[in-house]
Every structure is written in structure tokens, then in C-alpha cells.
Amino acid sequence: MSTAIYPGSFDPITYGHMDVIDKAQRAFDKVVICVGVNQKKTPTFTPQYRCDLIKELYPDCDVITWNGLIVEAAKHVGAAVIVRGFRALADFEAEFRMAHINKRLAPDIDTVMFPTSEETTFYSSSIAKELAMVGAPLIDIVPASVERALRDTFRPVNIQKTPR
């Protein structure tokens, strides 16, 4: 049975992430979604809440959190493959470098990269949060459950014009 691990911050999960997960599920017998805990970042949602949002969308997937090297997480869950997604050439270059570093750290673990579909190329967690902050529509960027979570977290900022 082939097992792959898909790491990311998923803060929050977007349709772009879901596009990569769906492709990975077609390619591998089992996909473990790994919510990364990065001490250098200040996430909007707790790791557990991010896991809960993902589990609601992918009830048949294992969803874990990990604080450390992704190759160690892959070994922990028995994954022979790390799945990565990329939207543009700049993403590919960064992922390509990381794939080589991971290969040096764990020669028995490969990296497979999936390009996002044309419809999700411009979606990111950052864009979803920025749009939510100003009350803009999140149609086609995040699922309804994630949109509710964002709306509950961010109240739109009203920009008022200063009278002359």
C-alpha cells in the first residue's frame, strides 16, 4: 500500500490545497495530511482547529500535526512520498530545492509535485484571510465551513472617508 504525506500550514485550507489533496488521493492508496506547526509564524487558527476543518472536508484521511522535519513525519506515518503543490514557477523552484534537501535527509523518501489546476492557481491562505478581513467574497477560494471560520475570526474593517 502506497502512503503519501501532504504537509502545509493550511491556515486555512483552500481549494488550491484541496486540488492537490484530490490529485494525491488518485495517485496514492493513503494520503496523510500534515498540519505543520512553525514557531516562527503566528497562525490565525490553532493547529487543532486547522485539523478539525480539514477532517470535516476529508473524513477518510488521517490528519496530524507535526513540529519538526517533514521527513521525520513521513517516517512516523510510514509514507514513502512527500506531496507538494505548486502554483507558479517561483513555487516550483522553492519546492525543487526543498525536495533535494529532503532527499539528502531521507534518501528513501521521494517528493512528488502536483501543479494546481488553472482555477486555483491564484488562491492562497493569505489571500483568503486578507479578503475575509475586509468582508470580500470568498467564493471559489475556500469551502463554506472555512469561510464561516474566517468570518467568525475577522470582522470586516470599514474604511471611512475623512470629510474635507
Active-site positions?
17, 41, 87, 125
Cell readout for 144 is 463554506
Cell readout for 81 is 512520498
Alpha-carbon gap, residue 96 to 119, rounded angstroms:
23
On whether the CB atoms of residues 112 and 83 are closer than 8 A, the answer is yes
Alpha-carbon gap, residue 32 to 154, rounded angstroms:
29
On whether the CB atoms of residues 126 and 87 are closer than 8 A, the answer is no
In 40-138, alpha helices (H)? 47-57, 70-77, 89-105, 125-133
